[in-house]
Amino acid sequence: MVVVRAENIKTRFGSKLIHDGVSFNIKENEIFGILGGSGSGKSVLLKQMLMLEHFDSGEYEILGYKLKNISQKNALKLQQKWGVVFQFAALFSFFSVFENIAIPLKEYTKLDNMAIYEIVLMKLKMVGLQEHVLNLYPSELSGGMQKRVAIARALALDSKLLFLDEPTSGLDPYSSREFDELVLNLKHSFDLNVILVTHDKNSMKTLLDRFIILENKKVGFIGTCEELEEQNERLFKKFME
């Protein structure tokens, strides 16, 4: 099955054209990267897939659902199948770690408090954190731990699809590599599909199975790191070295 199909996406904001016919497919069980210069429309592409931003023409198909004219019922179904971590791991600062991870479970399920606690604890361990962290508040955590909690929350509903926008930005190099390792582990342990916007060259090399590079409002390249090196020396130098 194809996880995401983007077909000839065109996007404008007012008179400004951002995407001029962007197409790509994301296959099952891959970590797929969206690369491109600053302002090239990476985050907009991600938000479109998440139904948080408009597109002017073309079509997205996500897990079998077409996004244009999607019904409210199907939109709700789809939203429960994925998790998202945006650039600045937006944990609620006035909620504890436990309360943060429990949010989607309280919002979308009818589980009782015991069951919610068990699931929250399981998700916390999945991202490599210990039980005592549940009572802490985001300000008491390191940047790397905050990102882990954000991932635990994103996966609370057993999502098989995880969207990440610049997840290592703001992290020191050591925490960034730890984060990459976590994403790889999650992919292998839970058959997770990951769609990742990044400009972190280490993440690109260690994480990505395939990626697109947005350039001049179009897909300048799609494929693997090795293919880029063979096919396009200019883009390889610009993005990978």
Ligand X SMILES: Nc1ncnc2c1ncn2[C@@H]1O[C@H](COP(=O)(O)OP(=O)(O)O)[C@@H](O)[C@H]1O
Interacting residues toward ligand X by CB under 6 A: 13, 18, 36, 38-44
Tokens at 110, concatenated: 């009818």
Q: Which is nearer to ligand X, 47 or 160 (CB)?
A: 47
Q: Which is nearer to ligand X, 41 or 138 (CB)?
A: 41
123 binds, options ligand X, Mg ion, none, Cβ within 5 to 8 A by partner type:
none
For residue 231, the tally of other CB atoms under 10 A from its CB is: 11
E-state strands within 28-177: 31-36, 57-62, 65-66, 82-85, 161-165
Least Å from the CB of residue 40 to ligand X: 4
Strand order in the sheet with 16-27: 16-27, 2-13, 57-62, 65-66
Least Å from the CB of residue 219 to ligand X: 13
Q: Which is nearer to Mg ion, 133 or 154 (CB)?
A: 154
Strand order in the sheet with 161-165: 82-85, 161-165, 193-197, 31-36, 210-215, 218-223
Least Å from the CB of residue 116 to ligand X: 34
Tokens at 196, concatenated: 């990742």
Q: Which is nearer to Mg ion, 43 or 79 (CB)?
A: 43
Least Å from the CB of residue 90 to ligand X: 16
